[in-house]
Amino acid sequence: MNNKENVKKLVDGVGSFIEYWGFRKIHGRVWALIYIADKPLSTPEIVKELGVSKALISGAINELLEHSLINKVGQAKYGGLTYVSCPNPAEVVRDIIRKRELVLFESIQNNLIELDKLNLKESQSLCIKKDSIKKLKILTGYHKKIAQKLCKKNIKSMEDWISFIKKISRFAT
């Protein structure tokens, strides 16, 4: 595999990861390409590198700008705007976790609390195992705590983010 293919696979992989988070794959691909670039990239350069339509790229760029994941920095010789990535995407990720994941965890926890209150007969009538509800309640609580810790952190750089994730991952080994 040549280096160009490695870059394409990386950009596609980040796109797939971002898609998993509920965004469109193109957002992740555009962001990754801009993030790893050694210079600001223009819309035509992004179109060429990713091999997709200008309309698709323009829409993705506008949404990435709205989320402050990329910034306009100038114009290329031929008139296209140029972009660089946000120096601290952790702030954006933290906001998304705060507005979306923590809300989901809260909702799930509330449902689990209610189901945990059921007596054995009520659980059996719903065909659910009380033990599974208790385990999900514990697991959801821990995930919520991790997300809350991330949201409370004042992460000012990519290095801060890496350091935080490194500390959390030590518990996983």
39-74 pLDDT, tens digit each? 999 999 999 999 999 999 999 999 999 988 999 998
CA dihedral angle for residue 18, residue 111, residue 116, residue 144, rounded to 10 degrees? 40
Instruction: Report d(CA 43, CA 167) in Å as an integer.
Output: 38
Query: In which band, very low, low, confident or very high, does the pLDDT at 90 lie, cut at 50, 70 and 90?
Result: confident
For residue 28, the SS3 value is helix
Long-range contacts, stretch 123-126, CB < 8 angstroms, 24+ apart: none
Give the rounded distance of the alpha carbon of 8 from its chain centre: 19
Which pLDDT belongs to residue 92? 81
Owner of token pair 């993705």: 60
Q: How does pLDDT run across 105-149, given as a tens digit for each residue?
A: 999 999 999 999 999 999 999 999 999 999 999 999 988 998 898
